[in-house]
């Protein structure tokens, strides 16, 4: 059996039509699913899985934005975000007496 004859067989088999569903097939399915427990609602884990790529992208964008703002402010001579944090920790948090 060569390849062309096999292809001919596939082509002929493709043309066969499937049996038509019975008139009340949808009703039968509905009866079957009524015996089933209701479909599980989306859990928090499912939601997190669904949103994880978008949350990752959003978090990366926020980090990049903060870094760019800090770099921009430093370059312009305006105290940057990290300067503010350093100042705050030096003046308030890391003093010998503490808070």
Query: Which positions lie near other proteins, rule CB under 8 A?
Result: 1-6, 8-10, 12-22, 25-30, 32-34, 36, 38-43, 46, 50
What is the distance between the terminal CA atoms of the chain, rounded to a whole angstrom? 88
| Residue 90 Cβ vs other proteins, minimum distance, rounded to whole Å | 49
| Residue 28 Cβ vs other proteins, minimum distance, rounded to whole Å | 6
Instruction: Please identify, using beta-carbon distances, which residue of 51 and 92 lies nearer to other proteins.
Output: 51
Distance CA 71, CA 81 (A): 9
Instruction: Please identify, using beta-carbon distances, which residue of 23 and 78 lies nearer to other proteins.
Output: 23
| Residue 61 Cβ vs other proteins, minimum distance, rounded to whole Å | 21
Distance CA 97, CA 91 (A): 11
Query: Residue 21 is encoded by which pair of tokens?
Result: 């569903």
Instruction: Please identify, using beta-carbon distances, which residue of 7 and 92 lies nearer to other proteins.
Output: 7
Q: 83 CB contacts (<8 Å, ≥6 apart)? A: 74
| Residue 45 Cβ vs other proteins, minimum distance, rounded to whole Å | 11
Residues in the chain: 99
Distance CA 50, CA 10 (A): 40
């Amino acid at each position: 059996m060569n390849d062309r004859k096999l292809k001919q067989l596939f082509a002929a088999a493709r043309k066969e039509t499937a049996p038509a569903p019975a008139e009340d097939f949808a009703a039968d399915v509905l009866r079957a699913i009524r015996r089933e427990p209701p479909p599980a609602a989306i859990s928090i884990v499912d939601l997190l899985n669904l949103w994880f790529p978008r949350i990752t992208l959003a978090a990366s964008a926020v980090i990049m934005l903060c870094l760019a703002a800090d770099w921009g402010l430093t370059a312009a001579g305006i105290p940057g975000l990290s300067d503010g944090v350093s100042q705050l920790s030096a003046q308030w948090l890391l003093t010998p007496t503490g808070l």
